[in-house]
A and B are shown apart, each in its own frame.
Chain A
Amino acid sequence: MSVLEMPGGAGAEVADDSLARPRRGVDRVLAGNAWLVFAFLYLPILVLIVYSFNDNERVGVWTEPSLRWYGELVGNTRVMDALRNSLVVAAVSTVVATVLGTLAGLSMERFRYRGQRMFDGLLYLPVIIPDITMAVMLLLFFVQAFDLIFLATGVQFSRGLGTIMLAHVAFNVSFVALVVRARLAGLDGALEEAAADLYASRWQAFRRVTLPLIAPGVAGGALLALTLSLDDVVITEFVSGAGATTLPVYVFGSLRRGVTPLINAVSVLMLVGSILLVLLSLAVSRRREDAGE
């Protein structure tokens, strides 16, 4: 990651390389290991893509190439509903989490106040807590909260897309705040002070100086939130009701019942989606690099 942010000193590069480059024999072993790791990382993805074009009812048996499963995917209402749910949840939770997370990141990095350390802990915990623990926490919370609301008002809420969105914002806020903080930590606070010295109001200084400077961080955080929301299966499975299923939860459920090649096509769709997001985030960081240097 830090490569993308390295200051471009051409002289330093050359010196660094000649110093660090290991002896030939050692280098060969290292290169061999690197090829092994890359094969390991890409082999499953390639196999999945190839087999999604396989015209056979059985997943592992190759017959001939066809687009059959992609056709069935488009006609499958459950898959299409799940896809729409995924997109709605991801869009809403990304927007809310980006606003809340950016503000939280600013508050942590640019100000000092009492009780900040507790806030810090609260922001970090969702990042390191295991999925399953957070899923269980939120399930019990929603069940308990809806029971209380029913007792108090007689209105019965149930789990569905709403609870999924609330849960996704809960983990995404932390990730956005983390990314925005990282960006802020690398910026010179003097720029904002200079704006203030030049009689910019606080809002003007934020709007014209701080916000443009942290924009790549905010965009990066938003993309991370979008990816996390589109990928999440454990927490979503626990907080979703009977009627609301996202694409990963649908795939997870299908895998438990037994695999059909349709799932291969759905999987490839999800892979392509996330790879497009990675490329987008790389384009953003490339722009950041250009703007920063």
Chain B
Amino acid sequence: MSTTVPPPDVQPDLHDEPPPPGPGLERDAEKAASRRGFLIGLPGLAYLVAFFAAPLLIVVVYSFASRSPRGATVLAGWNLDSYARLTDSLVLTIAWRSLWIAVVTTLICLVLAYPFAYYLATRPVRVRALLLVLVMIPFWSNFLVRTYAWRMLLGSDGPLTRLLQTVGIDATLLFTPTGVMIGLVYGYLPFMILPLYAAVERLDHSLVEAARDLYASGWQAFWKVTWPLSRPGVIAGSILVFIPSFGAYVTPEILGGRGSTMLGSYIARQFIGTASDWPFGSALSVAILVVMLAAATAYFRAGGKNL
């Protein structure tokens, strides 16, 4: 579902500050209020503990379990075998492929989205709103269906391939890593556009003017003023594109072939399909989760809070 996520524009702030100590009566009122706040949140909290935290715990438990020769998962034997297999050459190949596909996807999105966001932010307000809506419409449309549309475009008798052939380019894109990348860029481009737009739009243009007044060239003003000021948007957009691309499952299944399996598909194969190795699949899931959390933490550290 991360496909239709709007970039979070509320970041967790500091909730841990204890209320300032007041005289008795006020403190009682504060206590009652904080109790009420907890009770109001409790149903949602309880639901997430039952159907999110508990499942998370079970995956971690399974990743240490072993599998009987007949293929059934035996929860009795605990070991690190599944984690040891993470260094198998096949796993490393797939992880490396996922990494470079996700990085290249992120870079292409950045190159397309930065000028686009800048263009948006410099239009008159009414035009801006209209253009934003035009970006949002495909963004909110069904991800699976939009990805499938590329299968038709990229297919051997599809319109795009034929167009390329008439120009003399004989390109095979479908069922290759390039095809997967096209699908990922298509699916996640708005994740890059929206935070970049937010960053560029709130940028103080008088600073750019000041740079120009001080005889900076257009390029210098961009590189020394605009780019550093829009960095929070660049970081947020990159993380928002990188995370779902790295764990992609649907896109490589639809647009990829034998040579473009990514970690998401490889994990799925451990659960549904022929491989059926739940402990190993769990260890892979835990590993991918650790990478994601590291990326997300880096994002918050890098000042994403001020987005």
Contact = CB atoms under 8 A, between A and B. Distances in A.
Q: Do A and B bind?
A: yes
Contacts of A136: 59, 267, 271, 281-282, 285
A15 to B, nearest CB: 9
Nearest to B299: A128
* Chain B residues touching A, range: 35 or more
A48 B37 CA distance: 49
A167 interface: yes
Nearest to B126: A13
The dominant DSSP class at the A interface is helix
A172 B180 CA distance: 28
Given A104-B41, A248-B144, A259-B151, A137 B47 contact: no
Given A33-B119, A248-B144, A19 B209 contact: yes
B119 A256 contact: no
Contacts of A61: 157
A123 B48 contact: yes
Contacts of B250: 131, 233-234, 252
Contacts of A166: 51
Given A29-B115, A44-B149, A132 B124 contact: no
A20 interface: yes
A18 to B, nearest CB: 9
Interface string A212-256: 000000000000100110111111011000000000100110011
Interface string B223-243: 000000000000000000001
B34 interface: yes
B264 interface: yes
Interface of A: 1-4, 6, 13, 16-17, 19-23, 26-27, 29-31, 33-34, 36-38, 40-45, 47-48, 51, 58-61, 99-101, 103-104, 106-108, 110-117, 119-141, 144, 166-167, 169-171, 173-175, 177-178, 181-182, 185, 202, 224, 227-228, 230-235, 237-238, 248, 251-252, 255-256, 259, 263-264, 267, 270-271, 273-275, 277-278, 281-282
A240 to B, nearest CB: 11
Contacts of B198: 1-2
